[in-house]
A and B are shown apart, each in its own frame.
Chain A
Amino acid sequence: MKTSVSEQFDANAAELLAHHNLMNAVYGVLAIIFIGILFYLVRLDRKISRLEKNQS
């Protein structure tokens, strides 16, 4: 059974879109770095609070 050219295009549009997912890996990596640094900053913040409490 032969399909027309346009049908073939449509059938494979999804296949093509799958490659956009790789951009999500970039967003994911940036988010991980952001969250990781934020996590560390919050820990430092807590340490400063403890120091301030001890001082007063």
Chain B
Amino acid sequence: MKDMELIEEMLNCYIDGELDERKSNEVKRLIDNDSQIHSLYDSLKRYKNLMDTVCQVPAPEGLCDNITAHLEREVLLADTQIYSLKAGRRHLMARRLMTAAAVIALAAVLFVVIFDIFVPKSSRQQLLSNALRKKTIKQVLYEKPFADTKQQEDIKIVPQNSYDVPLVVILALKTNNPIEVDWLVAKALTTTDLFNQTAAIDRQSGAVRYVINCNNQSLISLIQELSFIWPQCTDTKIDIGTEQAGKYITVNNISARQVMEICKAENFGQRLRMANDLAIINKLTTPAIIDRLYAAVDIDYDLLVTQKPALTSTEKTQTAGQPSNDIKNATLTIIVISK
């Protein structure tokens, strides 16, 4: 099949006179010797002759004139100075722009007229109002609920001033020398100028009760003065008032230093925790051991007490105000009991 195509190609070249002498002779010999190729050659030759008979059509009249006129028009346009001068070009541009503007204006007028004719009045007003309405920003709450509001920073809240809750202390001292202890208490009250602030002194057989209303600082000073009494005492006990009236935390075998520590507590909560801790510790150990422990190591009680985590809320910080010396926010009841 491919050979036949090649032979046909060769025969066409032979008919068109495109072969050199050697190849031409070869093809001629092939045509003479092979009847099939001869037949094909004859057929091709006949088609070739037929195509050659197709006559040439004369070119349309005035073709040359048309071409020269076309060229001449272009030459004339190129030579016209209006297109080469700057002012001319500007003028041409202005004319073009004006034409474009006129066309746009005409189109706009046509649009308005068509709009007016075909669009109903109600739809027209709705369309116009929609077109004139300003774009509103859509607030998609579920996507960005707090996007535009600045989140407030957490503010540390300091627990309420401990001095707001009055310090109620009932100190019970059991002694073999009640007269001496009584005298020493009276002396301590005098020394600390708290004798005048003593609300009540109740002397009964076997027991004397002092009720003193003072501020916290004075109370600490008083306890410091009373520390001399402790060696005279056989048993000591303290009751720390809680928020609930009539309910106390009792700490047995309490030392003067422990009382002072409790009184120095920064706030009501710390005071209660300290009282609880000391109640447990004192149950396990003797007061002497604790005193020795305190003496040996200068323990800051704060180290023994776990700090509460700082609470947070949106309220502003409230700093704990220092207790005024004038405010009597502590009540100390000293009971001296004879053994």
Whether chains A and B associate is: no
Q: Using a CB–CB distance below 8 Å, which chain A residues touch chain B?
A: none
Q: Using a CB–CB distance below 8 Å, which chain B residues touch chain A?
A: none
